[in-house]
Chain A
Amino acid sequence: MSLLQVEKINKNFGGLVAVRDFSLSVEKGEIVGLIGPNGAGKTTVFNMIAHFYPPDSGRIFYEGKDLTGMKPYEICQLGIARTFQVTKPFVNNTVLENVMVGAFSRTNDPREAQSKSLAVLRKVDFFAQRNLLAGELTTVDHKRLELARALATEPKLLLLDEVMAGLTPSEKVQLLGLLRSIRDEGITLIVVEHDMKAVMTLCERIVLMHRGEKLVEGTPQQVSSNPQAIAAYLGEEYGTT
């Protein structure tokens, strides 16, 4: 049984087709990359999996369970966490407090929540900033905060929406290492990114979306050598690999 089974989901926004007949199957322990030009529908797919809004049609199964009709907080309780492309920090609170909100989804005890949050912050290398107000962080640090917050909910499936945006190359390498170690702890990852090199290095499987549909799916080599993919998105750089 796959961890996540997305079957032919659709989403319309007032006549505009954002996602059409999208299907995806993700196994436990995978790192799947979701790529595509802007407007391809990647965030919309994420939003539907996390039930920020429901799919217009189609179904999503998680651990065999049909997610239809669930609310985002129920999805979180089941073990799916997500970050937002446009970050949503709790600006008037410290980094630690932000992460504790996530930790409270698994415990009611403030002390336990705090110690879990501190552990998460250490893991993502954000411990030193724990008492800074979230509103005073840089946008890049907001992304790290989102990641820490999501991790604090102890997810089994983590949806990361452009969590690498704005990082320097060395920071990206660090983050890639972090993501791999997260996966090694048993968390499955679906990653939306624009940085092709990072995606190709990190992900074992890549799904390319274009205009709301799944265009190509396969290993990095398969996708980057697929002529349709190249035509749609990847450009000359990968055409000859």
Chain B
Amino acid sequence: MEKENRLTLGWWIIGIGGVIFLLVPLFVRNPYLLHIFILIFYFAYLGTAWGLISMAGQLSLGHAALIGIGGYTSTLMFMEWGVTPWAGMFVGAAICGIVGVIIGYPAFRLKGPYFALTSIAFAEILRIYVENTEEGPFGIPLKAAMGLLIPLKGQAPEVFQFQEKEPYYYIAFAMMCIAILINYTITRRKFGFYLMAIRSDQDAGESLGINSTRYKLMAMALSCVLTAIGGTFYAQYFRYINPERAMGLGMSIEIALVGVVGGWQTVLGPTIGSILLSPSGELVRAYFGGTYAGLHLFLYGLLLMVVILFLPNGLNDPIRRALKRLEARIRRPAVLTAQPNAPTKDSG
């Protein structure tokens, strides 16, 4: 597809970066460093999944609820019935897909900020419910604010548990790559074009044959399914899931933030955002989290405001521009520096 900014340099960087990421665990043994990488991949994954609904022009500030549903579903199925989280993951994903469609449908038919409101309301109410409920319907032990502790089984790959960080590293990396691939494929196909049209000008899109509600629902379903799977990963990696952390507004905003900082309606934006934010956020939380509870969320909120006010398209634009300049300089230094009558330099 012709696009005037096809970044071959960008592809190289992505490729090299991918290879580097694959090799890191071979050289890096420090579990804490690996943990940081896992966070980067994990939030890149969540941000990219969230980005699917952003591509339809809808802002969700309640995606944490999906993490909660996904994580709680697979964990409860494991705790109560011994179902491996690998399978429970899909059940949670299916539930979230359906929930997302039901929640989104009323708002998607309308124009206005209704979906954003719905997402916040849904997430908050669900969180409050879980936080205050020891036993849910059918006697499901939700354990209220205490949350769920994953029963430790040591090294048990069949139930999605590992002693070392490496397997989690690769799983998170694979998830991130898959999510990016999904987003990328979508943008090249009719689905992606339609989502772009809907968020750009829904009326124009409808006059060109787009059933905007239907496509928003499709994007929502996919976004929810992927996010729910992220919830299972959360439960299995942190081995603990509770309403306040996993389902709170802070988490929803963290997910939105990586997308916004990196470029919230682009394929790689959330990944870029996560590379930037996850390490710093984790460091702030580690060093200050005890004495200054809330500092890292404060900084996130501030960062969100700053980005919206000054860099609304996130870092994606500046990075693209810098890459273009870099690419031009690498490929044709003669063109850049040549004067009409001056001798041209040999390209390096």
Query: Interface of A with B (CB < 8 Å)?
Result: 50, 52, 71-73, 76-77, 81-82, 84, 88-94, 96-97, 100-102, 104-105, 108, 110, 113-114, 130-131, 149-150, 152-153
Where chain B touches its partner, the secondary structure class is helix
Instruction: Name A77's closest neighbour in chain B (CB-CB).
Output: B209
Instruction: Name A88's closest neighbour in chain B (CB-CB).
Output: B204
- Total interface residues on B, using CB and 8 Å? 23
Chain A residues with CB under 8 A of B207: 50, 52, 72-73, 76, 81-82, 84, 150
A90 engages B209 (CB within 8 Å): no
Q: Using known A-B contacts A94-B4, A104-B193, determine if residue A71 contacts B211 with beta carbons closer than 8 Å.
A: yes
CA distance A50 to B206 in the complex (A): 10
A72 engages B201 (CB within 8 Å): no
Query: Interface of B with A (CB < 8 Å)?
Result: 1-4, 188-190, 193-194, 196-197, 200-201, 203-212
A93 engages B190 (CB within 8 Å): no
17 contacts between A and B (CB under 8 A): A50-B207, A71-B206, A82-B207, A84-B207, A88-B201, A89-B201, A89-B204, A90-B204, A92-B196, A100-B193, A101-B194, A101-B196, A102-B209, A110-B1, A110-B190, A110-B193, A131-B2
Contact of A102 among B2, B189, B208 (CB under 8 A): B208
Q: Using known A-B contacts A97-B193, A110-B189, determine if residue A92 contacts B200 with beta carbons closer than 8 Å.
A: yes
Instruction: Name A132's closest neighbour in chain B (CB-CB).
Output: B4
CA distance A101 to B3 in the complex (A): 15
B209 engages A131 (CB within 8 Å): no
CB distance from A82 to the nearest CB of B (A): 6
CA distance A227 to B203 in the complex (A): 39
A93 engages B200 (CB within 8 Å): yes
B3 engages A105 (CB within 8 Å): no
A101 engages B208 (CB within 8 Å): yes
B203 engages A88 (CB within 8 Å): yes
Q: Using known A-B contacts A88-B203, A113-B190, determine if residue A76 contacts B208 with beta carbons closer than 8 Å.
A: yes
